[in-house]
Amino acid sequence: MAKIRRVPVRSFGSETPQPTVPVLAEWVKERKGVAGDLTTYYLEESLRPQEGVDLPCPGGRIYLARILETFVGLEGETLTREPAVETALVEEDARWGAARKKGLWFSIPAPHLLGIRDEYYHDREEFCEGICTCYRQVMRAMRDSGAGGHILLGDDVHESEFEHLALRRTFFFYPDLAEEDLPVILEFQTSVAVPVSLLSTALDLLDEYDLRSLFIVDGKQEDILAAAEYLDPEQISFGGYCTEDCERYWKELVERAVIPR
């Protein structure tokens, strides 16, 4: 039998559909005496299908409500005074994650996804700095409670967010990454996650940027082989971000993450 080599698989988050009332009622019944809310349900359900994933990661857009819950100074989604955070709920989430896997990372929406309107600073740079300061406090509180780090999930690349939040244990991930945004990301990160459609573009940038690890999102065997012509095997991994049919999605991604030796 031919020998094969497994390629590590990393999750950048996994979305969960809104539960029906009977499903949620059954979940509450099974957790009798254990604290939890709808976000807790989403976290559990996003993590559960990630069987066999080397670096699983709960959360994603489903964590938006929790981040907003931590903010003090909001009226609805409008900032009306200096922002601050109360971190008890996110600390509990981090302890939940650590109980399942030591150093578990969480996928959380980047600041621009929160949709917060500024009626306090009236200055774009000060507003971004204030919100990002709160983000650092949230992430620090979660790490102190057992989280390994954070995936910052975004729709659009905002350089100001990188300037404030590109830290050792944060990783920016964009499911719909545009080609022109790759150089911006590589100015701040030595690791990047790219869809298969941008793999060749990322490899072409190796002469200009220090790329230490590459995550091929939804990759196949031929993508591993293509990347291996430019990078050492230990620099190549698969990445995944599930939006539907997650039981099947993660199973198939893990199964594809192999190449002949």
Least confident span in 1-15, 140-154, 160-174: 1-15
* Amino acid (one-letter) located at 250: W
For residues 214 and 227, the answer to whether their CB atoms sit within 8 Å is: yes
Three-state DSSP state, 130: helix
Helix (H) or strand (E) holding 25: helix 21-30
b/e for 152-166, b at 16 or more Cβ within 10 A? bbbeebbebbbebbb
Q: Please report the pLDDT score of residue 127 as a whole number.
A: 95
pLDDT tens digits, residue range 23-79? Answer: 888 888 887 767 778 999 999 999 999 999 999 999 999 999 999 999 998 898 899
Q: Please report the pLDDT score of residue 117 as a whole number.
A: 94
For residues 61 and 80, the answer to whether their CB atoms sit within 8 Å is: no
5/174: higher pLDDT: 174
d(CA 203, CA 192): 11
- pLDDT at residue 4 tops 90: no
Is 3.20.20.210 the CATH classification of the domain at 8-190?
yes
171/260: higher pLDDT: 171
Of residues 197, 183, 196, 87, the one with CA closest to residue 143: 87
pLDDT tens digits, residue range 94-152? Answer: 999 999 999 999 999 999 999 999 999 999 999 999 999 999 999 999 999 999 999 99
- The token pair at 242 is 């599930």
Q: Please report the pLDDT score of residue 250 as a whole number.
A: 97
d(CA 212, CA 14): 25
Q: Please report the pLDDT score of residue 17 as a whole number.
A: 86
pLDDT tens digits, residue range 184-225? Answer: 999 999 999 999 999 999 999 998 998 999 999 999 999 999
Q: Please report the pLDDT score of residue 1 as a whole number.
A: 47
Model confidence at 2, pLDDT cuts 50, 70, 90, reads low
In the block, which residue shows the tokens 């490899």? 203
In the block, which residue shows the tokens 């996003």? 46
- pLDDT at residue 180 tops 60: yes
- The token pair at 140 is 């620090």
In the block, which residue shows the tokens 């989280």? 147
